[in-house]
Amino acid sequence: MLTRERQQTAIISYVRAFLKSYRGRILEEIIIKAYVSLAACSNEDEKILGEALNACRAFWLAAQALPNYQIEQARPHNRCIYAALAVRDILNKRGIVAAEVYTCGLQIRLFDPNTGQTLKGIAVGNPEGLAGPKHWNAHLVVRAGDFLFDPTLVQASRPWNDLPHVGAFRFGAPEWHHVTMSAGTAKTSAVTVTPVANEQLEIAYFELPSEPGFEKRSYRTSSNSGVKQRRDVVSAALRLLDADSEIKLTEVEARTIDLSVMGLMTTS
């Protein structure tokens, strides 16, 4: 767990989806990163982590093989509801019956490690953001075991943040860590910090603030939540998982970060 007093070693495990083509079509290379220390994982943790990363990988490969992937609006990149529900379904059918979708906010910020000053940022779930029937001001991910899996972290990708398509994070955050917005603060559900060039990148998932209008937002009202929307991709992903080899979890990068200079918000 992150603490203010001690240094936290951020170990990134990552895998790539290696299938390059399908029926003659060149596929997008899918980058998957687990911002998790495998040394801190139990055998059960590794099992869940591996199953869920495999499910996310199979989902993306299956989605790219569908005819409607040629239509930009139909791709998973900006369809977190569609993607999270599909991955949840895949996991449930693969025996991870406790996997469930989790509604939250997401904040990405690049900051100066020496001053803590935010240099660039992007967020969804701020009460000041667009909300209503056509604007779902929230993010949907999958919770399984002690982890959050974000099948569409790529939708927050920008040239400055080097985000992958899929991210996995340990669920839980220190009591003192929260996300600050103009309307107040929000409790953090999961957080990690990773180096990007000479700066640091914070990825934080947070509980949605209790502001007017937020209590009416539900992913279930979205057209992307329909079972028919994801039936084909779930079936195709399950076939891939039955036929394909599993992802190997490999720790590839370790960095030590001093949280006392990160500018992470703390309680007084």
Q: List the Cα angle 139/39/47 in 5-degree steps.
A: 60
In this prediction, residue 246 carries a pLDDT of 56
Nearest to 193, CA basis, from 117, 258, 120: 258
How far is the C-alpha of 4 from the C-alpha of 212, rounded, in Å? Answer: 33
User: Is residue 3 included in any domain, yes or no?
Assistant: no
Number of separate domains in the chain = 1
Query: Residue 256: helix, strand or coil by DSSP?
Result: strand
Region 188-195 average pLDDT = 90
d(CA 139, CA 126) in angstroms, rounded, equals 11
| CA distance linking residue 1 with residue 111, whole number of Å | 21
Higher pLDDT among residues 44 and 135, named by residue: 44
> In this predicted model, which residue has the larger pLDDT, 125 or 81?
81
pLDDT at 190: 93
Residue 2 in domain:
no
Whether 268 is in a domain gets the answer no
For 140, the domain range is 8-261
- Position with higher pLDDT, 45 vs 85: 85
Flag whether 124 is in a domain: yes
Mean pLDDT of 216-226: 82
If you average pLDDT over residues 77-103, what whole number do you get? 96
Is 149 a member of any domain?
A: yes
What are the residues whose beta carbons fall under 8 Å from the beta carbon of 208, sequence distance 6 or more? 103, 104, 105, 125, 138, 186, 214, 217
| pLDDT for res 148 | 97
Q: What is the pLDDT of residue 15?
A: 45
Question: How does strand 30-35 pair with strand 166-170?
Answer: parallel
Confirm whether 14 is domain-assigned. yes
Average the pLDDT over 254-261 and give the result.
37
Mean pLDDT of the chain: 79
Q: Measuring CA to CA, which residue among 33, 62, 27 is closest to residue 49?
A: 33
Please indicate whether residue 73 or residue 235 has the higher confidence score (pLDDT). 235
**For residue 75, what is the domain's CATH number?**
3.10.550
How many other C-beta atoms are found inside a 10 Å radius of the C-beta of residue 251?
Answer: 14
What confidence tens digit (pLDDT) does each residue in 117-137 have?
999 999 888 766 655 556 678
pLDDT over threshold 60, residue 30: yes
